[in-house]
């Protein structure tokens, strides 16, 4: 988990795979000793490796692992483990930009946590439902849910995952046409990254910063704004490559390609996008890859 949060994705995947192997061979008999607030380790590993796999550029493998985690949690009938699996599944659907599925998982999580008294996961479910509502066009209600979930989460004393939560809120502000509010949120998020070292969402923070800078109504000369946005996109791409975060690299490259397209640099945009798109071998039904394919067609 620490390696994942640090952005060391390949190492995180390796350790999760080793944990799963140990769990499968040795630890099933420990399930009888779980308390109500402990996570069944196999479900935790499956849920987290799903998030790592998506980030590494394996969206279909990620979904398969998430489904396995949910199936095991339901078979076990252990409420806290099911909450963990549902919360992680909702996050994976957010990564894959699947609004209805994300909302379904989030609402199941909210109901479960309300019944059993899991405040941390209740907050997570509220945030995930907020994202899903914004994604599906219910933006005002979605932002309210995001803010409520974030406030409840912090009230528990939790600080981990804050950069990702702030990234989602900034994205939602952008969807509302409130770029300045989103940029303010990103300033806090990047400061948190520098303070804590939690870098699993750092790529998205820079990509969103560039996107919102282009949308902002409070800005200087257009050429300067575009130059600053390009610097943000290039920074996001650099970090993604260092982390081997192929799914995040694809998003950052698409953002830069769209900017270059507007600037008349279609060939440079096409070459960069074709390279990262050509790396993928799965996930072609996901929104990111569908949009990349459509953009490549425009640039050809």
pLDDT at residue 26 is higher than 70: no
Handedness of CA 51, 4, 203, 250 (dihedral sign): negative
CATH code for the domain defined by 1-21+41-121? 1.25.40.10
Q: Which pairs from 38-42 meet CB under 8 Å and 24+ separation?
A: 38/80, 39/80, 39/81, 39/84, 40/72, 40/73, 40/76, 40/78, 40/81, 42/72
Question: Using alpha carbons only, what angle is made at residue 58 by residues 55 and 59, rounded to the nearest 5 degrees?
Answer: 85
195-238 pLDDT, tens per residue? 999 999 999 999 999 999 999 987 778 899 999 999 999 999 99
Tokens, residue 45: 């590993």
Q: Among 52, 40, 45, 43, which Cα is nearest to 18's?
A: 45
What is the CB neighbour count within 10 angstroms for residue 44?
A: 22
Angle between helices 59-76 and 41-56 (to 10 degrees): 170
Residue 36's pLDDT is 53
Residue 40's pLDDT is 76
Residue 212's pLDDT is 97
Q: What is the 3-state secondary structure (H, E, C) of the chain?
A: CHHHHHCCHHHHHHHHHHHHHHHHHHHHHHHHHCCCCCCCHHHHHHHHHHHHHHHHCCHHHHHHHHHHHHHHHHHHCCHHHHHHHHHHHHHHHHHCCCHHHHHHHHHHHHHHHHHHCCHHHHHHHHHHHHHHHHHCCCHHHHHHHHHHHHHHHHHCCCCCCHHHHHHHHHHHHHHCCCHHHHHHHHHHHHHHHHHHCCCCCHHHHHHHHHHHHHHCCCCCCHHHHHHHHHHHHHHHHHHHHHHCCHHHHHHHHHHHHHHHHHCCCHHHHHHHHHHHHHHCCCCCCCHHHHHHHHHHHHHC
Confidence band for 28, pLDDT divided at 50, 70 and 90: low
Domain coordinates of the chain in residue numbers? 1-21+41-121, 179-300
Residue 165's pLDDT is 97
178-189 pLDDT, tens per residue? 999 999 999 999
Residue 142's pLDDT is 98
Confidence band for 125, pLDDT divided at 50, 70 and 90: very high
Same topology, domains 1-21+41-121 and 179-300? Answer is yes
Confidence band for 39, pLDDT divided at 50, 70 and 90: low
Domain 179-300 CATH superfamily: Tetratricopeptide repeat domain (1.25.40.10)
Handedness of CA 139, 165, 63, 103 (dihedral sign): negative
**CA–CA separation, 109 vs 131, rounded Å?**
14
Task: Judge contact between 268 and 260, C-beta under 8 A.
Answer: yes
- Its pTM stands at 0.94
- % residues pLDDT > 90 (the chain): 87
Residue 82's pLDDT is 95
> What is the average pLDDT value for the chain, to the nearest integer?
94
What is the CB neighbour count within 10 angstroms for residue 176?
A: 15
263-284 pLDDT, tens per residue? 999 999 999 999 999 999 999 9
Tokens, residue 100: 């209805």
């Amino acid at each position: 988990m620490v390696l994942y949060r640090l952005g060391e994705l390949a190492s995180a995947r390796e350790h999760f795979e080793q944990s799963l192997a140990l769990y499968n061979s040795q630890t099933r008999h420990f399930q009888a000793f779980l308390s109500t607030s402990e996570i069944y380790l196999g479900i935790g590993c499956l849920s987290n490796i799903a998030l790592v796999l998506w980030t590494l550029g394996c969206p279909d493998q990620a979904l398969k692992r998430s489904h396995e985690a949910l199936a095991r949690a339901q078979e076990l009938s252990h409420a806290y483990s099911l909450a963990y699996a549902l919360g992680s599944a909702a996050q994976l659907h957010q990564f894959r930009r699947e609004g209805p599925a994300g909302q379904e998982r989030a609402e199941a999580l909210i109901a479960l946590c309300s019944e059993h008294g899991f405040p941390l996961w209740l907050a997570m479910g509220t945030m995930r439902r907020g994202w899903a509502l914004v994604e599906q066009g219910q933006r005002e209600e979605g932002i309210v849910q995001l803010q409520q979930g974030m406030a409840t989460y912090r009230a528990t004393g939790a600080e981990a995952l804050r950069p990702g939560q702030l990234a989602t809120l900034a994205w939602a502000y952008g969807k509302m046409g409130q770029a300045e509010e989103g940029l303010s949120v990103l300033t806090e998020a990047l400061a948190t990254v520098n303070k804590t070292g939690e870098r699993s969402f750092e790529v998205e923070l820079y990509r969103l910063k560039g996107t919102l800078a282009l949308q902002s109504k409070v800005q200087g000369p257009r050429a300067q704004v575009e130059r600053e946005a390009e610097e943000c996109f290039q920074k996001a791409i650099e970090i993604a490559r260092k982390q081997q975060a192929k799914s995040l690299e694809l998003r950052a490259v698409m953002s830069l390609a769209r900017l270059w397209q507007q600037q008349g640099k279609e060939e440079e945009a096409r070459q960069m996008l074709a390279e990262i798109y050509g790396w993928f071998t799965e996930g072609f039904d996901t929104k990111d890859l569908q949009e990349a394919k459509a953009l490549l067609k425009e640039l050809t």
